[in-house]
Structure formats: structure tokens, C-alpha cells
């Protein structure tokens, strides 16, 4: 109980600090940091989403960013059709979920790396279809999104408004992950990940639970995509390349698969590092930032192969 209370206080403090952050950044005249933090937040939501598929159920997905794209493009198209923005967000999440469920129904019987390759293929197909279907998506030129300024009463700066919305999204994702993780469903996923045959023999409906983890992931991607589109007011296929999927996988694995705190830290480091280096490195070193980024990725994996903050459940399994 004491521990629970402590963690509640710590969480509350972290949330308060995060909410105060954009105003502090503005006070010290570094509004650029608010944008960076917003992008980090979007990848936290994406990472927590992929964590359901990869971290909990152990399904390897290399095309996750396509669902971010579907969420963003659904929002952009809905906004073009003069749908109110909150409804567009709901629509984005619903359509992303539906597409993900359809994909899952088709491909989830594939195993291991075959699943990874098929999701990678789907990711490329989705991006190319968006790129080629000019009549619906305006092709490579991208789509403008009608501006929506939801929190104008708090701050006139759209970056701050969206930062706060994204923060709410991250909090929602954390709460949802925590609740599901320790539920019957969460334990069933871990059982499947650790030994599918044993899980099936214990009476877990493996197919259904895998599909559930795979599908739920997409709700987060859809939400993040919708916020991204509304914030940027512009979407293009360029934002959803294969590399972005790889980045989300790296966030989950480097942070610690199945660990909520790990995924948050992974997103903070991997998405925050390049802009941080751009900000701090001197002119002669600035071009080296991606080289350093790669080196850090290798070294971090070598020194913490189980992730920066491995989940307590995994750690206890590994030490036993």
C-alpha cells in the first residue's frame, strides 16, 4: 500500500511537471523545446501501442507506422469533409482499429519473422497506396488539414495546445496499459509470449487473444496519427516511411519490452536525442549526430540487452 501510494505521488508529480513544462520552456524562451516534446509524446503513444503487440504478446511488427498513417489520413480526409475535429479523432481511431483487425485476421497465423516481413510489406503497401491514390489523398503533394485550436483558453500557442493534448493522450495510454497489463488479459498475453503451446493447453484462446493485442495496438496509433495531422495541419506519405516503423520497434526493445516506464524512456531518448544533439553540439560536430545516434543505439543494446528499464515480470523470469 505504501509503495502504491508512493508511486501514485511520483506519477502525479511527473504529470504536473510535464504539464508545467511548456510554460517553463516559454518562460526561458525556448519554444522549440515544446515542439520536440510534442513529437516525443507522439512516439510515446506509438511505443505504448506497439508494446501491446510486441511487448505483451511477443508478435513482431515492422509496419506499425502504417497505422499511424491511416489515423493521420483518416483525420485529414474527415476534416476535408467538414467533420468536426473531435469526431474526426474518434473516426480515425475506429477506422485504424478496423483495418488492424482485418489485417490481423488475415495474417496472424504467420509466425515470428514471417509476420515481421508481412507487416513490413503491409506498411510499404499502405504508404504506396496513399502515395498513388491522388484522388483521395492528393498523392505525394500531401494534404492540408483545416486548423483546429482546442485549448485556446489555456495558451494562444498551438504548439502548447497540442503538447497538452498529446500529454493527455500519453496519460491515457499509460493508464490503459497499466490496467490491461495486470488484468486476466495481460497475463494471458504473457503466457502466450512465453510458450504458446503451454498457453493453449492451459485453456487460453490463443488466436483470439493474439488478435486482441494486435488490434488494440492500433487504437494508440490511430490516436497519435489524428493528433499529428491536426497539429501539423499537413500530412504527406513522406512522414510514414519504413524507417519510422523501425524507430518505434527500437523504442520498445531498447526501453524494455512490456515495460511501460521503459517505453516512455525509450521514446524520450531515441526521439529526443537527435534534436538535443542539434541543440548542443557545436557546428563542426552537428552533422555527426546520426552517427552518434547509431553508436548510442549499439552501445545501449550491448550494455542493457534486456532494455533500459526491463519490466519487473521479465526481470524476475530471467533471474530465475
Q: How many residues bind other proteins (CB under 8 A)?
A: 45
Separation of first and last alpha carbons in the chain: 26
Of 129, 168, 180, 261, which one interacts with other proteins (CB under 8 A)?
A: 129
Residue 191 binds to other proteins (criterion: CB under 8 A): no
Task: Tell me 110's DSSP state.
Answer: S
CB of 272 to other proteins, least distance (A): 16
Residue 98 binds to other proteins (criterion: CB under 8 A): no
Burial 154-175 (b: 16+ CB within 10 A, else e): ebebbbbbbbbbbbebbbebbe
Sole window of 7-15, 16-24, 28-36, 113-121 interacting with other proteins (rule: CB under 8 A) = 113-121
Sole window of 19-27, 77-85, 116-124, 142-150 interacting with other proteins (rule: CB under 8 A) = 116-124
The rounded Cα 31 to chain-centroid distance in angstroms is 23
Tell me how far CA of residue 57 lies from CA of 137, 176, 178, 202, 298, in angstroms.
33, 16, 15, 16, 25
Three cell numbers written together for 164: 497538452
Q: What is the DSSP string of 85-108?
A: HHHHHHHHHHHHHHHHHHHHHHHT
Applying the rule CB under 8 A, the residues between 50 and 69 that interact with other proteins are 60
- 71 Cβ neighbours under 8 A, 6+ residues apart: 92, 93, 95, 96, 221, 222, 223, 224, 225, 226, 228, 229
Sole window of 39-47, 75-83, 162-170, 195-203 interacting with other proteins (rule: CB under 8 A) = 195-203
Q: What is the dihedral of CA 257, 48, 181, 188, to 10 degrees?
A: -70
- Count other C-beta atoms under 10 Å from residue 17's C-beta: 10
Question: Which is closer to other proteins, CB of 20 or CB of 125?
Answer: 125
Residue 298 binds to other proteins (criterion: CB under 8 A): yes
Question: Which is closer to other proteins, CB of 93 or CB of 115?
Answer: 115
Q: Which of 148, 135, 134 is nearest to 88 (CA)?
A: 148
Three cell numbers written together for 119: 507487416
The SS3 call for residue 143 is strand
Paired with 235 in beta bridges are 143
Sole window of 36-44, 76-84, 211-219, 243-251 interacting with other proteins (rule: CB under 8 A) = 243-251
CB of 127 to other proteins, least distance (A): 9
Question: Which is closer to other proteins, CB of 17 or CB of 299?
Answer: 299
Sole window of 40-48, 172-180, 226-234, 245-253 interacting with other proteins (rule: CB under 8 A) = 245-253
Residue 277 binds to other proteins (criterion: CB under 8 A): no
Residue 319 binds to other proteins (criterion: CB under 8 A): no
Residue 132 binds to other proteins (criterion: CB under 8 A): yes
* Cα–Cα dist 175/169, whole Å: 10
CB of 243 to other proteins, least distance (A): 9
Question: Which is closer to other proteins, CB of 21 or CB of 60?
Answer: 60
Residue 291 binds to other proteins (criterion: CB under 8 A): yes
Task: Tell me 51's DSSP state.
Answer: I
Three cell numbers written together for 291: 552517427
Binding mask 8-47 for other proteins (x = CB under 8 A): ----------------------------------------
Task: Give residue for cell 488479459.
Answer: 185
Residue 283 binds to other proteins (criterion: CB under 8 A): no
Interface with other proteins by CB under 8 A: which residues? Answer: 60, 106-107, 109-114, 116-118, 120-122, 124-125, 128-129, 132, 195-197, 242, 246, 249-250, 253-254, 257, 287-288, 290-291, 293-299, 301-302, 305-306
Amino acid at each position: 500500500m505504501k509503495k502504491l501510494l508512493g508511486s501514485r505521488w511520483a506519477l502525479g508529480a511527473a504529470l504536473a511537471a510535464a504539464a508545467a513544462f511548456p510554460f517553463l520552456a516559454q518562460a526561458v524562451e525556448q519554444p522549440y523545446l515544446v515542439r520536440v516534446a510534442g513529437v516525443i509524446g507522439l512516439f510515446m503513444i506509438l511505443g505504448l501501442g506497439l508494446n501491446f503487440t510486441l511487448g505483451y504478446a511477443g508478435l513482431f511488427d515492422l509496419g506499425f507506422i502504417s497505422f499511424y498513417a491511416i489515423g493521420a489520413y483518416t483525420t485529414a480526409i474527415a476534416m476535408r469533409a467538414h467533420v468536426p475535429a473531435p469526431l474526426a479523432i474518434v473516426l480515425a481511431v475506429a477506422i485504424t482499429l478496423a483495418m488492424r483487425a482485418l489485417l490481423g485476421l488475415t495474417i496472424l497465423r504467420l509466425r515470428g519473422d514471417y509476420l515481421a516481413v508481412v507487416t513490413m510489406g503491409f506498411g510499404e503497401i499502405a504508404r504506396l497506396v496513399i502515395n498513388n491514390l491522388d484522388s483521395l489523398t492528393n498523392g505525394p503533394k500531401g494534404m492540408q488539414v483545416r486548423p483546429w485550436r482546442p485549448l485556446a483558453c489555456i495558451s494562444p500557442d498551438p504548439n502548447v495546445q497540442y503538447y497538452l493534448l498529446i500529454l493527455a493522450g500519453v496519460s491515457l495510454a499509460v493508464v490503459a496499459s497499466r490496467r490491461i497489463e495486470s488484468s486476466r488479459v495481460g497475463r494471458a498475453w504473457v503466457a502466450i509470449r512465453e510458450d504458446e503451446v503451454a498457453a493453449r493447453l492451459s485453456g487460453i484462446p490463443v488466436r483470439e487473444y493474439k488478435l486482441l493485442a494486435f488490434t488494440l495496438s492500433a487504437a494508440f496509433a490511430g490516436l497519435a496519427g489524428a493528433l499529428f495531422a491536426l497539429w501539423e495541419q499537413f500530412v504527406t506519405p513522406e512522414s510514414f516511411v519504413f524507417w519510422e516503423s523501425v524507430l518505434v520497434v527500437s523504442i520498445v526493445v531498447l526501453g524494455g519490452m512490456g515495460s511501460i516506464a521503459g517505453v516512455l524512456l525509450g521514446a524520450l531518448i531515441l526521439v529526443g536525442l537527435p534534436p538535443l544533439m542539434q541543440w548542443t553540439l557545436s557546428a563542426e560536430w552537428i552533422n555527426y549526430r546520426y552517427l552518434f545516434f547509431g553508436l548510442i543505439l549499439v552501445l545501449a543494446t550491448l550494455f542493457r540487452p534486456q532494455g533500459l528499464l526491463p519490466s519487473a515480470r521479465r526481470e524476475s523470469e530471467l533471474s530465475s
